[in-house]
Structure 1
């Protein structure tokens, strides 16, 4: 809650399947967090949440960062049209990849 994000939540029959935290920026939209319940992973929940953000972005630039070693997340973003723009070490030994999708 302290991160000041807008949340999209995927729910099925009262069960939370996943959630995505996003924020509008002067440059577009930033995806800040994407989490999917492991019991419901690999069933399209993350893909649907990302697609909802892209639809709402209405052609604005959308950015995201994810763990360099998080192959499933990198694949999800690549399939959604994101291009990796670089990587950085945020803490010693912890690397993230930055990506963006333009209109």
Structure 2
């Protein structure tokens, strides 16, 4: 079941962090860069981020989370994370499908991930996203951006 998460509630923000930290630790290992911003988040920074969060629950447990910001005809996916014990169960795909059904249907979706995160890069390409750029953020860290137009 996918439902919106009230990130302003500290209890729910803590649940999101309980998924986010282990999920992004896996990404940090994949890209060999351990100072990624999601690993520094706190309940307060999540509550102030301005993103809308949706969670996928598996047997009553939060198994994955997606967060977005919507501006006019753009859906910006800020986070897509799955708790490691729930990897390869289709949760990321379900969350992405949920967000793709969001809005009026003509928005463009955008997302970025670590360029060395091969599973995420493959996931977005398989999901119909097109690579639109790659940027070196600092030595040892590059980010690949993708978009998908809905019409």
Tell me the TM-score normalized by structure 1: 0.93
Q: Does 1:86 align with 2:133?
A: yes
Gaps of 5+ in 1: none
Q: Does 1:39 align with 2:48?
A: no
Contact 1:51 1:80 in 2 (8 A): no
Gaps of 5+ in 2: 1-46
Helix, strand or coil for the counterpart of 2:101?
helix
**Which one has the bigger strand percentage?**
1
Contact 2:73 2:106 in 1 (8 A): no
Tell me the TM-score normalized by structure 2: 0.65
Q: Please, what is the CA RMSD of the aligned residues?
A: 1.1
Deviation at 1:76, TM superposition (A): 1.1
**Which one has the bigger helix percentage?**
2
Other-structure match for 1:12: 58
Larger radius of gyration: 2
Other-structure match for 2:118: 71
Deviation at 1:26, TM superposition (A): 3.2
Deviation at 1:97, TM superposition (A): 0.2
